[in-house]
Amino acid sequence: MASDLQIDITLARDGFTLQANTQIGSGITVVTGPSGAGKSTLIGAIAGAVKPDRGRISLNDHIFFDTASRRHLRPAARNIGYVLQDSLLFPHMSVKQNLLYGSRKSSTWTVDDIAKILEIDGLLARRPKQLSGGERRRVAIGRALMTNPQLLLLDEPLANLDATRRRAILPLIERLRDEFDLPIIYVTHAWSEIIRLADRLIVMKDGQITNQGTLSEVLATDDIGAELGLDGSVIEATVLGHDNEQGLSTLSSTSGQLHIAQIVDQPGSNVRLFIGAADVALALSRPVGLSVQNILEATIIDIRPGTPPVVNIDLALNDGQVLRSRVTPRAVESLGLTKGQSVYALIKSVALDKDLLHHPL
């Protein structure tokens, strides 16, 4: 079922002002930005935990907040699942009792359904103190789902978990989107989570939404990756096969083949791949006799100064996807690089980070 969350609000607190105007649809919308950008304040306003000074928030035909009509629904009346980074489980209750707390009779899903999807069906009799951090997060998400929400808000739900536990939970969040047909707003500043989950990305800074769109659109027009410590592009491809002897996997896109460190995904799987801008070199003709495994034809669509002493170059691949390269001013001058010029992008297989892969829709 299509979702239409509309937000147009202003909120001022203790010298900080949030001004947000956006429309959010189905799928997973990731909200990111530096600390203090207003990410948690925004979803707190959606949940009803924070009251804006003026504006309007509505989901489909359900109005949550509207200053014109003096309407401000309490959180429980909004039918929203809201999960914070500190799970806030009841310590005196079992996992099953925590899941049942606040559940609705109209819920489409049973405790057993939720427990199986979140892979906590063997933990139902345990108390929170007997759970790992990752298990507690799953229970908190399950409890929110038992309220039969029309929207799920996740505020840095994987914060302070180690990489292994994060990787275990991320596929479960994708299952929630797919099996529940549930719109999800997911707050994080972790790039591994952004690249894996984002159907749509909202970038915030100083209480403002500075950019929004699909992940590829935002990365092609925004330097948020560099600001958060990861500058590059996201490319979608399909797994062709694996070379166990060489420890490599071959991916295919309409722009050409890519070779990366071996992954577990089966041939035919669709994956999303992050390529660092500094790992993309440029050539005017197809090189021969190089160790570089990945060579893609591209066209320069933009050249602009970056943080000295680098120049950012945006490249359009044959299939329309955008690849970013970061080179020196000397390289631009010596190669005579200009907009509209055809070039070859060279990417080492070791530069392709298999930890930043995910299955797109």
Residue 182: both structure tokens together:
């549930």
User: Among residues 229, 246, 266, which one ends one of the domains?
Assistant: 229
The answer to whether residues 139 and 184 belong to one domain is: yes
The answer to whether residues 18 and 153 belong to one domain is: yes
The answer to whether residues 314 and 333 belong to one domain is: yes
| Domain at 296, CATH number | 2.40.50.100
User: Among residues 196, 229, 262, which one ends one of the domains?
Assistant: 229
The answer to whether residues 138 and 196 belong to one domain is: yes
- The shares of helix, strand and coil residues in the chain, as percent rounded to the nearest 5, are 25, 35, 40
What's the confidence (pLDDT) of residue 359? 42
Q: What is the 3-state secondary structure (H, E, C) of 44-92?
A: HHHHCCCCCCEEEEEECCEEEEECCCCEECCHHHCCEEEECCCCCCCCC
The answer to whether residues 137 and 258 belong to one domain is: no
Residue 74: both structure tokens together:
């309490």
What is the Cα–Cα distance from 50 to 62, expressed in whole angstroms? Answer: 18
The residue among 353, 355, 358 whose CA lies nearest residue 196 is 358
Helix axes 163-180, 133-145, angle to 10 degrees: 10
The answer to whether residues 216 and 301 belong to one domain is: no
What's the confidence (pLDDT) of residue 39? 95
What is the Cα–Cα distance from 128 to 93, expressed in whole angstroms? Answer: 8
The answer to whether residues 146 and 209 belong to one domain is: yes
Tally of structural domains, the chain: 2
Residues of the domain holding 23 = 5-229
The answer to whether residues 265 and 300 belong to one domain is: yes
The answer to whether residues 269 and 155 belong to one domain is: no
What's the confidence (pLDDT) of residue 103? 79
The answer to whether residues 57 and 150 belong to one domain is: yes
Series of mean pLDDT values for 10-residue runs along the chain (361 residues): 86 94 94 93 96 96 95 94 84 93 73 89 94 90 89 91 82 84 90 87 95 84 65 86 90 86 84 86 91 91 88 91 92 96 87 51 32
The answer to whether residues 202 and 241 belong to one domain is: no
The answer to whether residues 223 and 250 belong to one domain is: no
- In 75-190, alpha helices (H): 95-100, 111-117, 133-145, 163-180
User: Among residues 202, 229, 256, which one ends one of the domains?
Assistant: 229
Order the strands of the 200-205 sheet from edge to edge: 71-72, 62-66, 54-59, 5-13, 16-24, 208-213, 200-205, 28-32, 184-187, 151-155, 80-83
DSSP assignment, residue 320?
A: S
What's the confidence (pLDDT) of residue 101? 87
| Domain at 169, CATH number | 3.40.50.300
